[in-house]
Amino acid sequence: MQLYHHPYSLDSQKVRLALEERGVDYTSHRLNPITGKNLDSFYFRLNPSAKLPFFQNGAHTIFETIEIIKYIDRIAMVSSGGHNFTPASQEVMEWMNKIQEWNPKYFTLSHIPVKYRTFVSKFLRRVIIARMAESPDLASAYHRKLREAYETEEKLRDAEVVSRSEEHLARLLDEVESKLSESTYLTGDEFSLADVMLIPVLARLSLLDLEETYIISRPNIAEYWFMVKQRPSYKKVIGRYFDGWRRQNMLIKTWCYLRVRTMLRRY
């Protein structure tokens, strides 16, 4: 089983947490979307949307986060022979879908200083153009990606788009806060796939230095966040890249890569 993912990608984090929690083995392929590695032609041929995560098991390919997680859950159930296994309940599925409905893209980008955001976006447009020249047979897919990049920039200039995303997130977190007043985890006293979906959202808020506004202000979520960070799966998938000094380290490395490539005009 092959997983194309990256620690920066929130949806990839969800899938990797599910793999760790369910103890499923896989071959990992890291493609950094900030440096445009997901735009390489080999990946475009596998997955024309160039998005992450992407899952492949033999001839079977899956592009959607929730579908990948459901597949992982089935594999884990089959390989355990059904022991100690309860399939995801209706409630777990509802929470998974509800969390997935919040798209972190505009929210995240709107919290990145304009200077960095513009630099990365220009870099990625150049990567797309360079890859298109190398693989003219993929031109239409690359053109679509370029249009997508311009559309994202346009949407970010629309204050309505950003505030809608903020309101959506606040509503979701309010609902989580109220649910966590009744149970330890999102859907009861046992950790479930609904928690797997929620943890990366909280990690994103923490990465953007927004814990105070969105997490600490909600005491049940704050307590939950502290608790789930102790899990080995969190440490392996997220903590190892973003806790404490590691966060600066990771961001600086990516930033230096982009600066050097831009200076050398190598895209």
Ligand X SMILES: N[C@@H](CCC(=O)N[C@@H](CS)C(=O)NCC(=O)O)C(=O)O
Task: Name the site residues for ligand X (rule: CB under 6 A).
Answer: 9-11, 33, 38, 50-53, 64-65
64 or 177: CB nearest ligand X? 64
52 or 176: CB nearest ligand X? 52
148 or 209: CB nearest ligand X? 148
9 or 187: CB nearest ligand X? 9
127 or 180: CB nearest ligand X? 127
DSSP characters over the chain: -EEEE-TT-HHHHHHHHHHHHHT---EEEE--TTTTGGGSHHHHHH-TT--S-EEEETTEEE-SHHHHHHHHHHHHHHHTTTTT--PPPHHHHHHHHHHHHS-HHHHHHHTS-HHHHHHHHHHHHHHHHHHHHH-GGGHHHHHHHHHHHHHHHHHHT-HHHHHHHHHHHHHHHHHHHHHTTT-SBTTBSS--HHHHHHHHHHHHHHHTT-HIIIIITSHHHHHHHHHHTTSHHHIIIIIHHHSTHHHHHHHHHHHHHHHHHHHHT--
For the bound state, the minimum distance from the C-beta of residue 29 to ligand X, rounded and expressed in Å, comes to 13
For the bound state, the minimum distance from the C-beta of residue 65 to ligand X, rounded and expressed in Å, comes to 4
For the bound state, the minimum distance from the C-beta of residue 103 to ligand X, rounded and expressed in Å, comes to 7
For the bound state, the minimum distance from the C-beta of residue 34 to ligand X, rounded and expressed in Å, comes to 9
For the bound state, the minimum distance from the C-beta of residue 189 to ligand X, rounded and expressed in Å, comes to 29
86 or 147: CB nearest ligand X? 147
34 or 215: CB nearest ligand X? 34
Assess contact for 129 and 202: CB atoms under 8 A: no
For the bound state, the minimum distance from the C-beta of residue 81 to ligand X, rounded and expressed in Å, comes to 30
Provide the b/e sequence for 59-94 (b: ≥16 CB within 10 Å). Answer: eeebeebbebbbbbbebbbeeeeeeeeeebeeebbe
For the bound state, the minimum distance from the C-beta of residue 242 to ligand X, rounded and expressed in Å, comes to 15
Assess contact for 202 and 220: CB atoms under 8 A: no
